[in-house]
Amino acid sequence: MPDVEKRDRTLIILGYSDVIFLFFYYLIIIIIGSGISILFITRTHTPDSLEFNALIAAFSMASAGAAVFNTRRLYRACINESFSFKTRSEMRLLDEDSLRRIGSIAFFIFRPAFGAAFSLVIYAMWRLSIAASVSQEITPASGFLYITLALGFLSGFLAGRVLTILEGQGLDQLRNVVSGDGRK
């Protein structure tokens, strides 16, 4: 598995205006994600609406969690100068760094969406494990909402690590499960 801490972060290229844009982008995602979560956890819940409200809250908190993680990554890079930051005069329209810059911006922009997607996968796996464990229909209790909220935030915050694990060992493990081979 690739070591997350040993990746070459100097491959990321951002302009100063990109960094400012990303800070505002993440701030907006944190505010909106947290706001939607608060809205959905404070609503009046019926047994039919509780699961839907929990799912929306988890999805929103996953986006906010990914934004928190990447805001932290971005400000640490600014302080440590671990990314390549370019001034406007240093950036050319079609130089060799322009594709790396586009990829770097896309990397940061799509992370909250990855976190939200992972929250849905984790939620589905969690609900599936509950459904597979009992023989009757279970109605979620009010604490269910807060568990999904916490799982949503963590799935967003840790989305990058999940991607690394899936890239490194995920396919091998999946092949072993499908083939019935318990060995590594």
**144-176 pLDDT, tens per residue?**
888 888 889 998 999 888 777 777 776 677 677
Structure token pair of residue 150: 């916490």
The 10 Å Cβ neighbour count of residue 72 is 12
Q: At what angle do helices 16-42 and 143-157 cross, to 10 degrees?
A: 170
| 167 within domain boundaries | no
* SS3 assignment, position 14: strand
| 178 within domain boundaries | no
Q: How many domains does the chain have?
A: 1
Q: How many residues does the chain have?
A: 184
pLDDT band at 183 (very low <50, low <70, confident <90, very high): low
> What amino acid is encoded at 43 in this protein?
R
| 71 within domain boundaries | yes
Higher-scoring residue by pLDDT: 112, 5: 112
Closest CA to 115 of 149, 71, 159: 159
pTM above 0.85, yes or no: no
Structure token pair of residue 147: 């568990």
Q: Which residues pair with 84 in a beta bridge?
A: 13
**85-137 pLDDT, tens per residue?**
666 666 665 566 777 788 888 989 999 998 999 888 888 888 788 777 777 77
Task: Give the Cα separation of 114 and 81 in Å (integer).
Answer: 26
| 64 within domain boundaries | yes
| 151 within domain boundaries | yes
Task: Give the Cα separation of 35 and 66 in Å (integer).
Answer: 15
Structure token pair of residue 104: 């770097």
| 134 within domain boundaries | yes
Q: Mark residue 180 as left, alpha or beta (left: phi above 0; alpha: psi -120 to 50; beta: remaining).
A: left
pLDDT, residue 87, reads: 63
**Which residue segment(s) compose the domain that 97 sits in?**
7-159
